[in-house]
Chain A
Amino acid sequence: QKEVEQNSGPLSVPEGAIASLNCTYSDRGSQSFFWYRQYSGKSPELIMFIYSNGDKEDGRFTAQLNKASQYVSLLIRDSQPSDSATYLCAVTPFGGYQKVTFGTGTKLQVIP
């Protein structure tokens, strides 16, 4: 079982719709959760982080964490073609904020 699992996609959504990206992790003691966005040929960049159960909103982005189900999600409201990218879920172990394990990513395509 992979430590961090994501559906590789591609996930296709029409412009203006809500994109829902999901991630599960195997280590129940995981402490910190991140979503990085990676455009094709570019390097990853952080868009959201969440440490506690529940929802965290930042503009059009909402991260959701459910530690009991070992599940993290990212919602993108009013999706734009510029949101088309690969989204990487990342997790750190208990006590290790720096040692990050990445999922293989979900490719999102926003259709104009």
Chain B
Amino acid sequence: DAGVIQSPRHEVTEMGQEVTLRCKPISGHDYLFWYRQTMMRGLELLIYFNNNVPIDDSGMPEDRFSAKMPNASFSTLKIQPSEPRDSAVYFCASSFLGDSSYEQYFGPGTRLTVT
């Protein structure tokens, strides 16, 4: 299996621009998570989906952030407009309910820099 796939791996954009991050979970997984990691705040859960339905978006920092999962193999995290404080590494992860360890498999991450 190719694992969780994220694109792009690096994104540099100017303040005010729209940013779209993409994720393809592991086939057969029914949970998908979006995290943000910074030195100051660590790894924070932004939102997670179960069977393509958003379950908890309480971690989404503000209305500038939105996430969608139109089908079982694709999700996007959009930031509009972007701000310098959004600079971070964004991870997508997936898991499946039948795994007794509840392990989350992380993608390689997207390093976002907003100037």
Contact = CB atoms under 8 A, between A and B. Distances in A.
B91 A46 contact: no
Interface in A83-112: 88, 92, 97-105
Contact of A45 (B42, B43, B50, B106): B106
Dominant secondary structure at the B interface: strand
A46 B94 CA distance: 13
Given A43-B107, A98-B31, A49 B102 contact: yes
A105 B55 CA distance: 26
A99 B91 contact: no
B106 A32 contact: no
Given A99-B45, A101-B45, A102-B42, A43 B108 contact: yes
Contacts, number: 46
Contacts of B73: none
A44 B92 CA distance: 11
22 contacts: A32-B102, A34-B102, A42-B108, A43-B91, A44-B43, A46-B104, A49-B101, A98-B55, A98-B95, A98-B102, A99-B45, A99-B56, A100-B45, A100-B104, A101-B45, A102-B42, A102-B43, A102-B44, A102-B45, A104-B42, A105-B42, A105-B43
Closest 8 CB pairs of A and B: A104-B42, A43-B106, A102-B43, A46-B103, A97-B102, A49-B101, A44-B106, A98-B31
